Structure 1
Amino acid sequence: MNDLALAGPLQAALAEKGYDSLTPVQHAVITEEAAGRDLLVSAQTGSGKTVAFGLAIAPEVLGGVDRLMPADKPLALVVAPTRELAQQVGREFEWLYGPAGVQLASCVGGMDYRTERRALDRGAHVVVGTPGRLRDHIERGSLDLSEARAVVLDEADEMLDLGFAEDLEFILGAAPETRRTLMFSATVPKEIEKLAGTFQRDALRLVVQGEARQHADIAYRALNVQARDKEHAIFNVLRFYEAQTAIVFAKTRANVNHLFARMINRGFQAVALSGELSQTERMHALQALRDGRARVCIATDVAARGIDLPGLELVIHADLPTNPETLLHRSGRTGRAGRKGTSVLIVPPAEFRKAGRILQGAKVTAEWGKAPGADEVQAREDERLLDHPALAEAPGEEAGMAGALLERWGPDAVASAFVRLWREGRSAPEELSDAPTQAAPLPARERGSFGPAVWFRLSVGHTGRAEARWLLPKICDAGGIAKDGIGAIRVQQDETYVQIAEPLVDRYGASLEIEPGLVMERVEGEPDLGRFVPRLGAAPEGRRPERAPERKTEKPAYRPKPSRFVEEDGTAAETPHAAEAAEDRPARKPYARPAEREARKPYAPREDAPRKPYAPRDDAPRKPWAERGEGDAPRKP
């Protein structure tokens, strides 16, 4: 199918930028079939989708002319999930639509609202912004979308993940119903389909088949490390590859701050991106990466959305992504424009199966292995020293000083000093413990059954504050197995017993020291896991203390309290055990009337003057009842 002819200004801009051919997504949106229709496009990050929707909305923006006159109201709107992505779209549109005289306006959170309002008042053909700030401008009346011909939602799935569904509905509701609506998303979940069905008319679904080609330039590596060596493995990977720019993904903000502090202590030129940073701090961090003052970026998935780092060569997943789409989205930031990239997954033994499922779902093949050790890192750095470009250059003005050094100290001493100076500014490589190879997956078993197993005893119990959730990862890391290879964990007073699946017993041997002071020993047969009774004294050496015998005490017979009620004749009421109770009670003293009471006079009626009888009031007649007039005040309820 023939492509639509691009406008002259756009062809000139693409040629000046060095475009020899269009990417698959750019080619798909300018065909005759897609002309004038609503589009729902699936395209991964780095596939050229920004230029793609810029070309797709060109007929609505340019209107068939090569040079635009000043606009009264915006003709097109682009909505992006983050400030960085909105600013990146603005930079792409500047060179793409610059020859056509298109005026752009940016409306993003964290920037000066008054500056944005003045840009809108001057007139803009295309407005690019984030959902929250765009809705703010619409509600205040500074942004009028009544003449908008096209609306683009970039990274629509991420905007829904960030909770912008209500804002998107408000923005789309403010635009005319006759507009074109283009949605670009890495994935199309049910929420995107629902949004498309509500705000799009007869949308054309485009699934770009260019993701595999994009990720073909990315080498995936999965490194099996012990859980306690995760951070050291990350440091060694950074030293081993020595990438121009690298990004390390962590799961939480706390993990980002922790890794950032550890890297700064080891001399890495690093910056951190998390949700707690202000817009100014984020811009300074990204600028440090672009101009080379920093080489490592530690970020969460949310904070890194929309950022574009030129020359990114290495992506490290310090915490595994939650799904295959996130893995592709993270890794897609490298391996662009024909450059090679590397994506490294740090996989502790407990997450081995999760990593396999994510890689399988992403349809990528990773090379499994161990993290580079201290010797490998040092050997790689020595190779870089031997191939340093400064050694290949001809002597210049410093030749005189070089000759003086050689004459005074000799070549061996000068070369040794050069090597020491080279290593002086770098921290020593990290020593990693030997990570055991991963065990083969266990066969599927019925629900509720564990299968053949062997018991092991650990030298810690309740007295050492041991808990099953604390011991489980340690046991997994020690044998390099997943948690489904561990059955019951029974914590006793001074020791703990744990079940290991029979196919995995050889990984622990007869005895294994998991960490200093924590020993794991194999037990023959099934241990006695009866009810624990505190021991009375110390047991002989080499023997377990015997259980204290249980005491059986007889409960006393029930004897109710005697009744406190007295009959009229002064005798106690007949109740069970009344006689026995009377014998146990001490004798009471007889009741004696106080002397003052006996001297009290008997009651005598009062001899005061007689009261007057009641007489009705006949002096003033009452007024007759009358209805309330209109002028009277209303009664209170």
Structure 2
Amino acid sequence: MTFEQLQLIDPIMKALAKENYTQPTPIQEQAIPPVLAGRDLFGCAQTGTGKTAAFLLPIIQLLSTQQSRPNGKRVIRSLILTPTRELAIQIADNAAAYGAFTHLRCGVIVGGVSQRAQEQLLEKGVDILIATPGRLIDLMNQGFVDLRHVQILVLDEADRMLDMGFIHDMKRIIAKLPVKRQTLFFSATMPPEITSLVQSLLNDPVKVEITPVSSTAERIKQQLYYVDKANKLQLLIDLLQDKSITSAIVFTRTKHGADRLVRGLTKANITAQAIHGDKSQNARQAALNNFKSGVTRLLVATDIAARGIDVEELSHVINYNLPNIPETYVHRIGRTGRAGLSGIAISFCEEEEIPYVKDIEKLTKQKIPVVADHPYPMTMTQPERAAIGASRASSAPAKDGNRGPRGEGGGRRRGRRPNPGK
């Protein structure tokens, strides 16, 4: 299928040609027609599937073909809510590109920067507003935002907004919208809370699911290293001697852990920058720009901050800490191997993370290949080793008493799971 077959208007086709887009992705192909027809839509898609254009293109078409208001005053006709500043800015950039040959005006509202420029933006008026919930609530409370004319609501990365505790802000914002509206809902994962939210917000929605969350891209080569927590940094430094790791996003569990890892890598003369919620907007944008331009080799991120990081040619994803939610693992590694390119996902597993491996493999229905021959094998007690061996019949025995599991392994260890989202 081509974009022409989706019956997009000439100004959008001209913009797509300028961006060198010729063929829609599967989610664009399936989502654009029902959105143009005015239907509510629920899209379940991982990063890199092209979902931003899947909702922006029809929104631009629907709004640009409407007659202008008699008094010429612009009002917010489409509201796009998204969890992070980076993602909001990225969506705004895309909206500007796709709508370059229309009369529409879009704006972005995020925290971490002065609100004065955002007040002026709202005063002048915008057709499409992209916002993070926290700052939008602030400006609503101050009387700067009027949502009474919104026709199309988009909730993007809804699962991550729930993870970040935005559920109450989302409900307060939605309560200010017209009851009669079109709602487009996108999520990378499908926890029960998302299903409940979809049922309460959407009216007879069309469902589009691209790449089920339980699957991982076949072109992504996965590697698993069992390593003690104290040896993770040195193992990473050793692996980074491989010059084929040209650019990588390294995932940590916490913001403090990201900063600590960057300090350790910097001491080893490896260029790395952290990106997380405690960084200012300018610092986060500078880190992202340096990474995209190749000035910085590694971007160290928490899951929340990583939403909105869009890098086309990412050679590696490294799980310095494994996530305790298996769907998050799938989402992370999906950042490499995009656009038909190959990619490698490297995961470190310390003792307390062993249960996560089993959960991930249960979800994906595939074993993660274990790299057993490395300088920092996990030191384990004999009962723990036996438990892993019993749970993984395919695992090969270790060669010596200090070597970690040599098969494709994991086991279950009792204990409280740490919070991955801090």
Q: TM-score, normalised by structure 2?
A: 0.84
Partner of 2:217: 215
1:168 deviates by: 0.9
370, 383, 386: which one pairs with 1:368? Answer: 370
1:257 partnered with 2:269? no
1:308-330 alpha-carbon deviations (Å, 9 max, x no partner)? 23432111111111122101111
Corresponding pairs, count: 395
1:353 deviates by: 5.2
33, 42, 45: which one pairs with 1:43? Answer: 45
1:207 deviates by: 1.7
1:293 deviates by: 2.0
Q: Give the structure with higher Rg (CA).
A: 1
1:153 deviates by: 0.5
Q: Is the 2:214–2:364 contact (alpha carbons within 8 Å) kept by the matching residues of 1?
A: no
Q: Aligned in 2, Cα 1:136/1:345: closer, same or farther, shift over 3 Å?
A: same
Greater RCO (Cα-Cα under 8 Å, separation 6 or more)? 2
Partner of 2:22: 20
- 1:275-424 matched pairs, under 5 angstroms: 275-348=277-350, 351-352=353-354, 354-370=356-372
Partner of 2:381: 475
1:484 deviates by: 6.7
Partner of 1:572: none
Q: Distance in 2 between matches of 1:105 and 1:321?
A: 34
Partner of 1:99: 101
Partner of 2:160: 158
Q: Aligned in 2, Cα 1:51/1:247: closer, same or farther, shift over 3 Å?
A: same
What code does the residue aligned with 1:475 have?
T
Partner of 2:234: 232
1:64 deviates by: 5.4
Q: TM-score, normalised by structure 1?
A: 0.57
1:566-623 alpha-carbon deviations (Å, 9 max, x no partner)? xxxxxxxxxxxxxxxxxxxxxxxxxxxxxxxxxxxxxxxxxxxxxxxxxxxxxxxxxx
Q: Is the 1:4–1:32 contact (alpha carbons within 8 Å) kept by the matching residues of 2?
A: no
Q: Distance in 1 between matches of 2:141 and 2:290?
A: 36
Q: Distance in 1 between matches of 2:156 and 2:260?
A: 32
1:281 deviates by: 1.9
Unaligned runs of 5+ in 1: 374-431, 437-472, 487-503, 515-637
1:133 deviates by: 1.2
Q: Is the 1:148–1:176 contact (alpha carbons within 8 Å) kept by the matching residues of 2?
A: yes
Q: Distance in 2 between matches of 1:190 and 1:238?
A: 39
Q: Aligned in 2, Cα 1:294/1:31: closer, same or farther, shift over 3 Å?
A: same
SS in 2 for 1:240: coil
1:349 deviates by: 6.0
Partner of 1:627: none
Aligned Cα root-mean-square deviation (Å) = 3.2
What code does the residue aligned with 1:57 have?
I
Partner of 1:192: 194
Q: Is the 1:80–1:129 contact (alpha carbons within 8 Å) kept by the matching residues of 2?
A: yes
What code does the residue aligned with 2:79 have?
L
More deviation, 108-117/70-79: 70-79
Partner of 1:129: 131
Partner of 1:266: 268
Q: Aligned in 2, Cα 1:307/1:300: closer, same or farther, shift over 3 Å?
A: same
What code does the residue aligned with 2:271 have?
Q
Q: Is the 2:312–2:339 contact (alpha carbons within 8 Å) kept by the matching residues of 1?
A: no
Which segments of structure 1 move beyond 6 Å, counting only runs of 4 or more?
210-214, 506-509
SS in 2 for 1:298: strand
Partner of 2:174: 172
Q: Distance in 2 between matches of 1:124 and 1:309?
A: 28
SS in 1 for 2:309: coil
1:438-473 alpha-carbon deviations (Å, 9 max, x no partner)? xxxxxxxxxxxxxxxxxxxxxxxxxxxxxxxxxxx7
More deviation, 109-118/135-144: 135-144
SS in 2 for 1:31: helix
1:56 partnered with 2:58? yes
SS in 1 for 2:140: helix
1:243 deviates by: 2.4
SS in 2 for 1:57: helix
Partner of 1:576: none
1:480 deviates by: 7.6
1:359 deviates by: 2.9
Partner of 1:83: 85
Q: Aligned in 2, Cα 1:222/1:44: closer, same or farther, shift over 3 Å?
A: same
